Amino acid sequence: MALSDFQTIVSDLIRDDANHITQIQIDTAIVSAVARYSKDRPRQKVEDLTAPGGNLLPLPAAWQVDFSEVGTLEYPIGSVPPNLISNQEFDMYATPSGESIMVLNRFSVGAVVRATYTIAHDVSVSADTIPMGDREPVCCLAAASLCDQLAGFYSGDSDSTIQADSVNHQSKAGEFASRARGLRKRYLDELGIDAKKNVAAGVIVDLNLNDSQGYPRLVHNPRRRFR
Interval 57-75: pLDDT, tens: 999 999 999 999 999 999 9
pLDDT of residue 97: 87
pLDDT of residue 43: 97
pLDDT of residue 2: 83
Q: Positive or negative, the Cα torsion across 130, 132, 134, 136?
A: positive
Decide if 75 contacts 20 (C-beta within 8 A).
Answer: no
Interval 147-186: pLDDT, tens: 999 999 988 755 555 454 554 767 899 999 999 999 999 9
Decide if 44 contacts 164 (C-beta within 8 A).
Answer: no
Residues in the chain, pLDDT under 70? 1, 157-167, 169, 197-227
Decide if 167 contacts 160 (C-beta within 8 A).
Answer: no
pLDDT of residue 165: 52
What's the 3-state SS for 146-214? Answer: HHHHHHHHHHHCCCCCCHHHHHHHHHHHHHHHHHHHHHHHHHHHHHCCCCCCCCCCCCCCCCCCECCCC
What's the rounded Cα separation, in Å, for the pair 108 and 163?
79
**Coil, helix or strand for 110?**
coil
Dihedral (Cα; 32, 35, 40, 46), 10-degree rounding: 160
